[in-house]
Amino acid sequence: MYSPENVGARFLADWIAGQKPREPKTGDASTFDRNLEKALDAKRESKSLVTRIKAIWKMGDGIDFSSNDMLSLGSSGKIRAAFLNELARNPDFLLYAGGSRLMDGNYDYVEDTEQMIADFHKAETGLIMNSGYNANLAIYSSLPLADDVIVYDELVHMSTFDGMDLSAAKAKVAFRHNDIESLRQTLRSILDTYPRIRDASNSVLISVESVYSVDGDVCPLQELVAVAREVCVKGNFAFIVDEAHATGVIGPKGSGLVNSLGMEEDVAIRLHTCGKALASSGAIILGNSTVRAALLNYAHPITYTTAPPFYSVAGMRAGYGLLSSGATQDSQNRVQHLVKHFFQAITANPIWTKASGMGILFIPVMGEAWENKKMYTHIVPAWTRQEYTWWLLFHLLLARISAQPVEYPSAPKGKSRIRIIFHAANEEKQVEHLAGTLCDFAKEMIEIEESGEIGRVPRAAQQVYALMQGTA
Ligand SMILES: Cc1ncc(COP(=O)(O)O)c(C=O)c1O
């Protein structure tokens, strides 16, 4: 039953309290506020209101399988130490930036840092942004020209969709996720439809991510580039690769997928972010000097905002200093080891074969040949039957495991899953606890299904429902 000491139960109690409708209680609130509460009630009723509850690992004894601190640079204090070093090296820093990059906001430190990061990634130039979200708005709002066409993987991040909404491109066409044949067909039909693309007066911009934040799978970049070459024989295509989830965790010294494949010349634009494995914030767009000049002059998220401030750039530089010195290599290897350890632990559990065969617990990103994979990623979504997804989340939280559900619109409709993220600082026994907890859930659900008892819900869900009714 509900125990106030259990961080998962406390989290759920707060979350449940946040889902209660408010509009009927707004009293004499203004029409504006009442209508907003009504709009929020629609989310509360679907039990999907986002609230500002602290993740359970931050409340004490919960285990972090959810944050983006993949290299554990944040939790270990390593990024703080590197940041403080950076401040000490620059005792005269100014918090004042002076305006946008095109006005008084440009300064030597930001330009030096851009070049340092560009050199690390073997790119010609870099342009620092306040965040990856703004970087995608900048890229898509300014680089595709009116008669260009954007082709994008259907699972790209929301920031890319929002950027594309601002773009002047003639058309934006999705291809099926990581599907080489679908890209081929999409490009062919674009060539058939748009004469300016066919005669190479304009370009196709192809947007992909190196590691997908929803599925944790890796983009088959070499094959996609080969298809673009085969179909767009005149070479009028440009790849944009968002490396947000690869930065720090994939490739030599965490430099990302493009560097690991030696494809720097095949990709026109890369985006690296520092808010995830590098445990600070900010982002950098890599490309040639033409791309940089176009961004600086035409992208409103650059021209109409204050230049990235010193402290943010110093955080980025601190992170990149750790990467380039090789100080993060052990953490990068450790994430690989832990993910493999998790696959070993879960497949060794006696219930795994039956549970995965029945579709009660499965992990698509694992694939069949997981033992021989050269590379794992830190994102491992766990799937159950759609109607059990929240029950699985309750089960994990009550076992003090912090994990996040990924639902529409972050995942396609009807494809909710629980996203698990591995960190260098996770212990092997925590990983085994995770695998065991997932399998315990599967075992319980199999028993329920085989019992034929209609309406029987698993133990964790019973506790949560009791909490909802105030009877726990
Ligand atoms: C693929 C991708 N691109 C861009 C972003 C946005 O980055 P930031 O958090 O720096 O705004 C994210 C963050 O979730 C992401 O996963």
Query: What are the DSSP calls for 82-98, one per residue?
Result: HHHHHHHH-TT--S---
Handedness of CA 59, 64, 70, 72 (dihedral sign): positive
CA of 128 relative to ligand 1 center, distance in Å: 14
CATH of domain 7-71+330-468: 3.90.1150.10
Rounded percentage of the chain residues whose pLDDT exceeds 70: 97
CA of 240 relative to ligand 1 center, distance in Å: 14
* Ligand 1 atom, smallest distance to 159 CA: 4
CA of 455 relative to ligand 1 center, distance in Å: 40
CA of 222 relative to ligand 1 center, distance in Å: 23
Separation of alpha carbons 77 and 100, rounded Å: 32
In this predicted structure, what is the pLDDT of residue 81? 98
* Ligand 1 atom, smallest distance to 274 CA: 10
pLDDT, tens digit, for every residue of 123-137?
Answer: 999 999 999 999 999
C-alpha pair distances (Å), 31 with each of 23, 35, 43: 11, 6, 19
Tokens describing residue 50: 């986002």
CA of 188 relative to ligand 1 center, distance in Å: 30
The residue whose CB lies within 8 Å of the most ligand 1 atoms, and thus the one to mutate among 213, 250, 257, 378, is: 213
* Ligand 1 atom, smallest distance to 281 CA: 10
CA of 192 relative to ligand 1 center, distance in Å: 34
C-alpha pair distances (Å), 326 with each of 253, 322, 331: 6, 7, 10
Which letter, b or e, does each residue of 33-59 get, where b requires 16 or more Cβ atoms within 10 Å of its Cβ? ebeebeebbeebeeeebeeebebbbeb
The residue whose CB lies within 8 Å of the most ligand 1 atoms, and thus the one to mutate among 154, 247, 249, 273, is: 273
CA of 154 relative to ligand 1 center, distance in Å: 16
For ligand 1, atom 5, name the residue with the nearest CA. Answer: 132
CA of 22 relative to ligand 1 center, distance in Å: 32
For ligand 1, atom 4, name the residue with the nearest CA. Answer: 132
C-alpha pair distances (Å), 165 with each of 72, 142, 160, 186, 405: 35, 11, 9, 20, 26
Separation of alpha carbons 421 and 65, rounded Å: 5
The residue whose CB lies within 8 Å of the most ligand 1 atoms, and thus the one to mutate among 69, 154, 159, is: 159
The residue whose CB lies within 8 Å of the most ligand 1 atoms, and thus the one to mutate among 157, 207, 257, 379, is: 157
- Residue 24's Cβ-side half-sphere holds a number of Cα atoms within 13 Å equal to 4
In this predicted structure, what is the pLDDT of residue 471? 63
CA of 363 relative to ligand 1 center, distance in Å: 23
Give the residues surrounding ligand 1 with Cβ less than 6 Å away.
131-133, 136, 157, 159, 209, 213, 242, 244-245, 273, 275, 283
* Ligand 1 atom, smallest distance to 68 CA: 14
DSSP 149-208: EEEEETT--HHHHHHHHT---SEEEEE-TT-HHHHHHHHHHHHHH-HHHHTTSS-EEEEE
CA of 297 relative to ligand 1 center, distance in Å: 23
Q: Are 293 and 125 spatial neighbours (Cβ–Cβ below 8 Å)?
A: no
- Tell me how far the alpha carbon of residue 206 is from its chain's centroid: 19
For ligand 1, atom 15, name the residue with the nearest CA. Answer: 244
Please report the beta strands in 26-111, taking only residues with DSSP state E, as ranges in sequence order: 63-64
In this predicted structure, what is the pLDDT of residue 2? 44
Which letter, b or e, does each residue of 349-372 get, where b requires 16 or more Cβ atoms within 10 Å of its Cβ? bebbeebbebebbbbebbeeeeee
CA of 133 relative to ligand 1 center, distance in Å: 6
CA of 347 relative to ligand 1 center, distance in Å: 32
Say which CATH topology domain 78-325 has. Answer: Aspartate Aminotransferase; domain 2 (3.40.640)
What residues are paired with 152 via a beta bridge?
A: 174, 207
Please report the beta strands in 399-464, taking only residues with DSSP state E, as ranges in sequence order: 401-402, 404-406, 417-421
For ligand 1, atom 10, name the residue with the nearest CA. Answer: 132
Q: Show the low-confidence residues of the chain (pLDDT under 50).
A: 1-2
* Ligand 1 atom, smallest distance to 213 CA: 16
**Residue spans per domain, the chain:** 7-71+330-468, 78-325
